[in-house]
Structure 1
Amino acid sequence: MTKLTLLAIDTSTEACSVALLHQGEITHLDEVAQRTHTKRILPMIDQILGQSGLRLNQLDALVFGRGPGSFTGVRVGASVAQGLAFGVDLPVIAVSNLTAMAQAAYQQHQAEQVLCAIDARMNEVYFSALKAEKVRLEIGEFLQWQEIITEQVCSPQRLLEQANTLSGNWLTVGTGWQAYLSLNNVAKNSEITLPSAKYMLSVAVPMWFAKQTIAATEIEPVYLRNEVTWKKLPGRE
């Protein structure tokens, strides 16, 4: 594929994953580690680098899942990425968790039109509709994802309203469909429910060659939902 060496990490959902692109090969570790991301992510990084005999400063760039996802998970991923990249002065590639699942749909099912929805709790989903486009770069042909419906947080009903305006064959990915939309009739369901760092690497490669990198100091998590109103318990201020 390329002599590029990239490390990808993701903690934005209940999945915790690390993947390495090195000498054209991808290796990865994936766990469901809800509420233990902070304990697992660094040992997983050490393990996958150790297996390849690499040090952090030998990477070309660090890739991370920038959200959307759980507030805590997105913060953990952004903080770890920032700390690692800043420590050895690595450029960073921020990848959408929704786009990572679309990439998984392409690689597993050859799907080129994907409806992505992550359960956002409180009867809402993080949603986008993505369409694959092939682009030719200096090292060959790659896939890029175009937003047909922009990333947003919305109700399941609003998702279906927007999805019903689309034409063609679409595949669904993400926990949002299982949580709220299991009876949807707008697209074919897939078994892909969680993002993985493995597929973030495939998204990141063309971004690297398009110079779509940022510095560690520029890392910003993407929550989509900026304000959350919590019901106060009776008798509590």
Structure 2
Amino acid sequence: MVNFIAIENASNGASVALLQDNSGVQTVKLQISTNEGKNAEQVLPLLDTLLADAKLTKTDIHGVAFSQGPGGFTGLRVACGLAQGLALGLQIPVVPVSSLEASAVLSQAYIDNGFIVVALDARMQEVYLAVYQVKNSELKSIPVLSPVLMQSQDVMAWVQEQLPRWCLVSGQSLSTAQYCIAGNALSAYPEDFVLPNTQWVVGETAWAHADTLVSIAYKKFQKEGGASLEALAPLYLRDKVAFTTVERESGLGGNPKIALPILNPLEVAQNTLATQLLERSLWIRPLRNSDLPAVIAIENVAHHTPWTEGMFFAALMHIHYHNWALVDEQDNILAYAVQLVEPDVVNLMTIAVAPSLQGQGFGELLLRWLELFIMGRSQGPYVQLLEVRVSNEKARSLYSKLGYEQIGVRKAYYETDGGREDALVLQKDVSLNKGA
């Protein structure tokens, strides 16, 4: 029997939960206090009651989780300190859980594929905000938008501006993705969270209790183990709540206003590409098995020695291959590309635009996305390598325009009707633009 506890102390009321895992059969018990303002005094009594009801003592606990925040500053510090103390005294692992992720988990059943926007009340007309992706009914634990602090009135407009970029990066279709807005900020500031269209639904608006936290934490522990005690700290996003006396005397009044998040250069480039695609009623998404007939039809015309359907199918099945389609509003394949991520380089294995559509910039749009995909990876390689026929002047001109440099020649690499032709080997280090 595994006994895992969680402490939730980031909201107005405290709660503790006990998860018991008996050979894969899990049960969760919860104790809640709504005695606002006395969270710190309530946590340990709640835990004692919970353990006593289960006929356990603290020495029977195998792991502890806590709400890392964001949330009330004092409550976060208390929860973190208690979790560290229990973990250190009992020599058990500790797992921090984001309050925003817990709220997203409460609402993940509302959509199958899309994004959950979580907004938690931070008081003073401000919200703690994060965005999570749901893919095939599964919530991804790494947020699309990491926690930020924002004015409540700015959230919906800013989120809608960012949706094309998030969809592009996450492989979603902007027109078919579902969007859920959740969190207790919706109850606190209802006038600021009006749904823009029918693609949006309202999720859970209650703050997640410790029973949600303990289920999340136990799954994390089973996959990743516990966190370092020394590195544990509350997540508190608000750095400033008032102007100093000097600032007020200089004419600043009211409370400091939170600025919109600043996009990094990569995010700006992603936004730019997403906007350009939408302006032309185009989109880029992962290639699917159902696309293969259209891909093969283009491949057989575009290349002298085309890939077979089996080769494309194998690439779709291989974890290190990344396959992309440029499509129109009707989801017709206009162009495609296949990348292979190897230990030291990303190989552009094949890229083609439907011959009747060449010269319209589709190849450049797709190639720019391939580079942004590489740049967006958490770790390298950040160098893309490709081959091009010596005689393919249009392709060579495009690669030169985008900064590819020749590093070699492969003699007689390509077949032609009249024999064989050399290939120029080109590469580009996209990390040079990653932080520009």
Q: Is 2:167 aligned against 1:172?
A: no
Distance in 1 (alpha carbons) for counterparts of 2:136 and 2:49: 34
Hey, what does 2:83 align to over in structure 1? 81
Letter in 2 for 1:220: A
Query: Does 2:176 match 1:163?
Result: no
In the alignment, is the contact (CA less than 8 A) between 2:102 and 2:208 conserved in 1?
yes
CA distance in 2 between counterparts of 1:26 and 1:110 reads 25
Q: TM-score, normalised by structure 1?
A: 0.84
Question: Within 5 Å, which residues of 2 pair with 1:197-216?
Answer: 197-216=210-229
Structure 2 CA distance for partners of 1:215 and 1:90, relative to 1, 3 Å? farther
- Tell me, yes or no, if structure 1 residue 20 matches structure 2 residue 22: no
- Flag structure 2 segments of 5+ consecutive residues without an equivalent: 164-173, 249-436
Give the counterpart letter for 2:27 in structure 1: E
Contact 2:7 2:79 in 1 (8 A): yes
Structure 2 contact 129–149 (Cα < 8 Å) conserved:
yes
> 4+ runs of 1 displaced by more than 3 Å?
109-113, 132-135
Q: How high is the TM-score relative to the length of structure 2? A: 0.47
Which residue among 68, 71, 79 is the counterpart of 1:69?
A: 71
Root-mean-square deviation (CA), in Å?
Answer: 2.6
Post-superposition Cα deviations, 1:125-174, rounded to whole Å, max 9, x if no partner, equal 10011123579xxxxxx854231222111112332133213342222222
What residue in structure 2 maps to residue 192 of structure 1? 205
Contact 1:66–1:221 (CA under 8 A) maintained in structure 2: yes
Question: Which structure carries more relative contact order (alpha carbon 8 Å, separation 6+)?
Answer: 1
Counterpart amino acid of residue 6 in structure 1: F
Larger Rg: 2
Shift in alpha-carbon separation, 1:134–1:59, aligned structure 2, 3 A: farther
- Conserved? CA contact 1:90–1:216, under 8 Å: no
Amino acid at match of 2:195: N
Residues 85 and 50 of structure 1: CA distance in aligned 2, closer, same or farther (over 3 Å): same
Structure 1 residues 134 and 44: CA distance shift in structure 2, 3 A: farther
Count of residues in correspondence between the two structures: 225
Distance of 2:56 and 2:111 partners within structure 1: 32
* Residue 56 (structure 1) shift: 2.0
Cα distance 1:72–1:203, how it changes in 2: closer, same or farther (>3 A)?
same
The answer as to whether partners of 1:7 and 1:18 remain within 8 angstroms in 2 is: yes
How many angstroms does 1:57 deviate by? 2.5
In 1, distance between residues paired with 2:153 and 2:74?
26
Q: Hey, what's the Cα distance between the residues in 2 that align with 1:230 and 1:88?
A: 43
Amino acid at match of 1:223: Y
**Change in CA separation of 1:178 and 1:160 when aligned onto 2, cut-off 3 Å:** same
**Worse overlay, 43-52 or 111-120:** 111-120
